[in-house]
Structure 1
């Protein structure tokens, strides 16, 4: 009888782990903010771009959260494993009227090939801090991805499933 109850409980725990794994893989992507696709057509001819309309007045308003990235040297911490890493110095500015949370887990880096790299926690000594930013405040720190690549954009998501904000890396 004890084995049956034990395996039943183990099955329920396994189901929750499976659901969490599927949720982590699917990522809760934001439909309005997607990284650009970096592929070209097979014939090598780039499609022509339609003329862009002038930005609306709503777009001209200051964004609620501003993200700016700059390539920086990787400063290896004692936690970093062997291998290559790429770091981006990121500044997040809260221009909204509400506080926002900043956490290294809320970032990703997209390289020039269109590949997305998640943040490696604790790899860089200058990692961005986990803080709550009041309106008007900003924080700067490093976001690090595993491997050697050329960063193109950095993504900040307000919370794990919030709205994604993109900043170009200079």
Structure 2
């Protein structure tokens, strides 16, 4: 049977969480928060290890790249140096081309300009076998002996020294070129104008 409502009667207290709106949930336990923190810490450490490993690998690649770049630079420098050196100097022709050259041993004929030293002379003949003029000058000759030593010409030492002339096509001239000292001449080299192509001939 329902009791009549007494306005002065106090309601029975109800335990929290039984349908009263606005009741706050119970606070999380400390153990749950610790588990979450521990999980985040492990994930952070693992992420840091992955980042360090990635940076190390990147650094290794950079080092290798640097070495590769250095090797490439060295190769490029070597190639550039080879290009700067250019082709090897043209070997002297053996008495051919526009200038025909012959050489033979000759007796030294002392001139008044020669001192008391010993001299060795070679008689040369130059023939212009081309279509342009050829300049002849004693200074355009060198004598190389059998030991490989190159001797420059001693001007005016021999009375039979070759003259300084310009040979027209078909002309020729003979005379001696003389080096200081006693030696066995092996070949004579002639260069037209000092900058032209050298011509070499063995001494007979």
TM-score tier after normalising by the smaller chain length: 0.5 to 0.7
Instruction: Name structure 1 gaps, 5 residues minimum.
Output: 1-29, 36-58
TM-score (norm 2): 0.54
Q: Deviations over 1:56-111 (max 9, x none)?
A: xxx9xx62111100000000000011110000000001101000100001000010
Question: What is the rounded CA distance, in whole Å, between the counterparts of 1:67 and 1:167 in structure 2?
Answer: 6
Matches within 5 A, 1:43-62: none
Question: What is the rounded CA distance, in whole Å, between the counterparts of 1:121 and 1:109 in structure 2?
Answer: 13
Matches within 5 A, 1:79-158: 79-158=113-192
1:31 equivalent in alignment to 2:89: yes
CA RMSD of aligned residues (A): 1.8
Does the residue aligned with 2:139 lie in a helix, a strand or coil? helix
| CA apart distance, 1:134 | 0.4
Instruction: Name structure 2 gaps, 5 residues minimum.
Output: 1-87
Q: Which has the higher strand share?
A: 1
Runs of 4+ residues deviating >3 angstroms: none
The structure that has the greater radius of gyration is 2
- Do the aligned residues in 1 keep the contact of 2:136 with 2:192 (CA within 8 Å)? yes
TM-score (norm 1): 0.65
- Do the aligned residues in 2 keep the contact of 1:66 with 1:167 (CA within 8 Å)? no
Q: Deviations over 1:29-62 (max 9, x none)?
A: x811269xxxxxxxxxxxxxxxxxxxxxxx9xx6
- Do the aligned residues in 1 keep the contact of 2:114 with 2:158 (CA within 8 Å)? yes
**Higher RCO (CA-CA < 8 Å; seq separation 6+):** 1
Question: What is the rounded CA distance, in whole Å, between the counterparts of 1:111 and 1:95 in structure 2?
Answer: 27
Q: Which has the higher helix share?
A: 2
Question: What is the rounded CA distance, in whole Å, between the counterparts of 1:147 and 1:78 in structure 2?
Answer: 17
Equivalent position of 1:67 in the other structure: 101
Count of residues in correspondence between the two structures: 116
